Amino acid sequence: MEAAAARRRPEEEVALYPQAGKAVAEEEQKQKEEKEKEKEEEEESPVAKRRRVLCSEFTAITSSDSAVARSFLASNDWHIERALNAYFEPPMENEDEAAGGVPTACAGPGRCIDLTADATSSDASVNSADSRKQEDDSSFSLITWNIDGLDQGNLKERAGGICSYLALYSPDVVFLQEVVPPHLCLLQMKASNYTLIPGNIDGYFTVIMLKKSRVKLLKHDIIPFPTTSMMRNLLVVHVSISGNELCLMTSHLESTKDHSKERMKQLQIVFKEMQKESESTTVIFGGDTNLRDSEVAKLGNLPNNIMDIWEFLGKPQHCRYTWDTHSNTNLHAAYKCKMRFDRIYFRPAGGGGHIIPRSMDLIGLEKLDCGRFPSDHWGVLCNFDVIL
């Protein structure tokens, strides 16, 4: 009997013992999958490997699945501490919901703040000041501001503060960076006198706002940054202001000192796009560049026909530093650092042009009632003269 069993072929064993055969097949399949996974991991780029490790750490800490981990990490520049803070941030109480109103639309329980829940047309509406301000075709104003939507702390109060500043200054053009979907919903409701053009609608992104009474939108485009690891791009709109054609651009260039090479590549794309425009068109780029002066110098400084407006205006010291951890305590940073991250570049139209930069100031310098500033960046307000 034992000799006969020894002579049986594997397939005969499977026929005689189907459960054992099934277990063998499953084990072989498992080993095959593990080998394929090991092969895939060997072929992964260093960035992909790092992201996979971060996803594993995130799921281990939060007991969530890989899809949730990837979503929160991607929305927070793949900084695990920021992603974890965003995940565990306790939901703010919604008075309307507590009173039996419509519940907040969220991606998950307690994961998203509806900034429009308590908003009314009279509550710091971006439209309010504009209705009282007389239009002046001999000038126009622009604000560029990284509004730090990735920081969910006091997000509702800070968003309201940003709307209050936009209502106060009533700019003709607004460049916003680090906008998150709840911000976009709030702006669509409270800034009905502006045309809103987002650079994306997922994660975080840039937005250009154009005052409908002054700025006519002609067309827009999104230029990708092919090698970004932070979902960055260049948002471009073509407009007409007081009969002058302008090309307006904004971006949030790659963040942190470690991504200097990618940031400089992105800046080169910006310069290339600025120079591609017709000579009859004035081109203005503004945004959170994350640039260090040494990086601009490495590229041979600015092209001859492009100027840094802060430098053109004589390098005014009161608006030199737009990211200042000494004066701005939002990050509670242990280090003290002052940087001119937020910049505005200008390429005049040929023949001297009809638009001239006049002044520059910082905004968002006052703390809100919640004890924080609207953003960890100051906003930059720039005024231009239009030669009629």
Catalytic residue positions, numbered: 288
Buried b / exposed e across 230-244, counting CB within 10 Å, b at 16+?
Answer: bbbbbbbbbbebbeb
- Residues whose CB falls within 8 Å of the CB of residue 328, separated by 6 or more in sequence, listed in order: 373, 376, 377, 378
The two three-digit tokens of residue 321, written as one number: 């530093």
Q: Greatest CA span in the chain, whole angstroms?
A: 108
Determine the residue type at 96.
Answer: D
Query: Strands (DSSP E) along the chain, which ranges?
Result: 139-146, 173-179, 194-198, 205-211, 215-224, 233-241, 244-252, 282-288, 307-308, 323-324, 338-339, 342-347, 355-363, 379-386
**CA-CA distance, 209 to 310, in Å (whole number)?**
22
What is the rounded distance in angstroms from the CA atom of residue 59 to the CA atom of residue 65? Answer: 6
Structural tokens at position 240? 């007409």
